[in-house]
């Protein structure tokens, strides 16, 4: 049973009438925004204490662990070739999932083991260069999901404590092609039970999909052959998911199906919406609207209570003023309660930065 935190010093009376004071837990850090010199924002632990960022050099991508309370960061490891390798997720235990090494395969890093490459459930990958890739990790670090190359077609997998499970192959291959449909598990719920991502559906290279704890899969929109879609975020139990279909964003549950997330008024219909993160209870979705190749994206938050809001407005309501000239362009990960967000921004000089944003209260 969870016990409430002690907010005031607790006095223990001793036999000799001494009183030993047990200190109260430290106050939570104040709200604030930190602009950071990292190239990629990867993920944040469920409690929001540790964020994972990357710095890129010509030779390698380096994973940094950033303490969101103290502002200190340290290099954890090199992932490998920055053009082919990238970290993808972090657990509460600071285990990191990645596309790692050469040949590229699903890898898991921890301070105790360094990199452990998971290999593949299949005898042969796609040539000598592509074996598998880990795209997300559960909160306890025991479950990893991603894709494994079966020849040159990827299957979705779940890996649990050393054992691969190939998830049900969904969709249909391209007309006239002998290859089966491509599948990928992009995200996993914090409890490790539900995976989600996409499957090829005939002429559509990706169609949003969810796999349950037994590996059985469901296409969320099996009749849509006009617009690609993919699940990009999933809540703590796999009950609520969010993703992109065409240029639009959606939130999904088994009860409601795919429900559109409205755009900001200043966004164009052709601006893609990327709902990249979601709170553990599924009530708030975060992401970015727009493509940096064609416009300046805008970070957003959505909830059923408040609709779609610019993240700068959410920050102001949460006790943080974004400095003049700084633009928050996307959210890439969120803590379980939505009070700690990481993503990309532009500073007042237009330079690309990563950021860590702490709010005073959950964003709903």
What is the pLDDT, as a whole number, of residue 364? 62
Show the tokens assigned to 249: 């964003």
- CA distance linking residue 287 with residue 302, whole number of Å: 9
Show the tokens assigned to 321: 């003023």
Q: C-alpha dihedral over 354, 358, 362, 364, to 10 degrees?
A: -50
Burial (CB count <10 Å: 0-12, 13-18, 19+), residue 112: exposed
What is the pLDDT, as a whole number, of residue 12? 29
What is the pLDDT, as a whole number, of residue 176? 85
pTM over 0.85: yes
What is the pLDDT, as a whole number, of residue 293? 72
Is-cis flag, bond preceding 103, omega within 30?
yes
3-state DSSP call for residue 317?
Answer: helix
Show the tokens assigned to 302: 């959505």
Print pLDDT tens along the chain (364 aa): 333 333 322 222 334 444 444 555 566 788 999 999 999 999 999 999 999 999 999 999 999 999 999 999 999 999 999 999 999 999 999 999 999 999 999 999 999 999 999 999 998 889 888 999 999 999 999 999 999 999 999 999 999 999 999 999 999 998 888 899 999 999 999 999 999 999 999 999 999 999 999 999 999 999 999 999 999 999 999 999 999 999 999 999 999 999 999 999 999 899 999 999 999 999 999 999 998 777 789 999 999 999 999 999 999 988 899 999 999 999 999 999 999 999 999 999 999 999 999 998 765 6
DSSP one-letter code for 313 = H
Per-position b or e across 49-65, b if 16+ CB within 10 A of its CB: bbbbbbbeeeeebbbbb
Burial (CB count <10 Å: 0-12, 13-18, 19+), residue 260: exposed
What is the pLDDT, as a whole number, of residue 296? 86
What is the pLDDT, as a whole number, of residue 17? 45
- CA distance linking residue 178 with residue 286, whole number of Å: 39
Distances (CA, A) of 76 to 61, 79, 82, 118: 11, 9, 16, 19
CB 356 within 8 A of CB 65: no
Query: Residue 309: CB partners within 8 Å, gap ≥ 6?
Result: 264, 300, 301, 302
């Amino acid at each position: 049973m969870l016990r409430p935190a002690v907010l005031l010093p607790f006095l223990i009376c001793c036999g000799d009438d001494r009183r030993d004071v047990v200190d109260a837990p430290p106050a939570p850090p104040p709200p604030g925004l930190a602009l950071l010199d990292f190239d990629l924002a990867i993920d944040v632990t469920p409690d929001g204490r540790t964020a994972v960022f990357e710095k890129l050099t010509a030779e390698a991508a380096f994973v940094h662990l950033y303490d969101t309370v103290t502002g200190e960061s340290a290099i954890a490891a090199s992932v490998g070739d920055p053009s082919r390798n990238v970290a993808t997720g972090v657990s509460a235990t600071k285990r990191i999932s990645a596309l790692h090494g050469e040949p590229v395969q699903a890898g898991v890093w921890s301070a105790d083991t360094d990199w452990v490459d998971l290999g593949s459930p299949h005898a042969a990958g796609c040539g000598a260069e592509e074996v598998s890739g880990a795209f997300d990790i559960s909160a306890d670090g025991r479950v990893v999901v991603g894709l494994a190359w079966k020849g040159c077609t990827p299957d979705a997998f779940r890996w649990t404590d050393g054992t691969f499970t190939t998830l049900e192959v969904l969709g249909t291959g391209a007309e006239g092609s002998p290859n089966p449909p491509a599948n990928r598990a992009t995200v996993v719920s914090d409890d490790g039970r539900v995976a989600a991502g996409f499957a090829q559906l005939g002429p559509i290279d990706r169609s949003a999909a969810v796999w349950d704890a037994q590996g059985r899969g469901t296409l969320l929109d099996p009749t849509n052959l006009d617009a690609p879609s993919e699940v990009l975020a999933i809540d703590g139990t796999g009950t609520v998911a969010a993703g992109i279909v065409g240029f639009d964003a959606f939130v999904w549950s088994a009860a409601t199906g795919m429900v559109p997330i409205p755009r900001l008024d200043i966004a164009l219909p052709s601006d893609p919406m990327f709902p990249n993160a979601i709170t553990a209870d599924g009530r708030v979705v975060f992401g970015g609207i727009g493509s940096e190749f064609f416009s300046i994206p805008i970070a957003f938050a959505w909830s059923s209570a408040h609709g779609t809001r610019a993240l700068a407005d959410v920050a102001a309501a949460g006790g943080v003023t974004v400095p003049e000239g700084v633009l928050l362009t996307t959210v890439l990960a969120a803590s379980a309660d939505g009070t700690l967000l990481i993503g990309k921004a532009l500073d007042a000089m237009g330079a690309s930065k990563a950021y860590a944003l702490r709010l005073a209260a959950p964003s709903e």
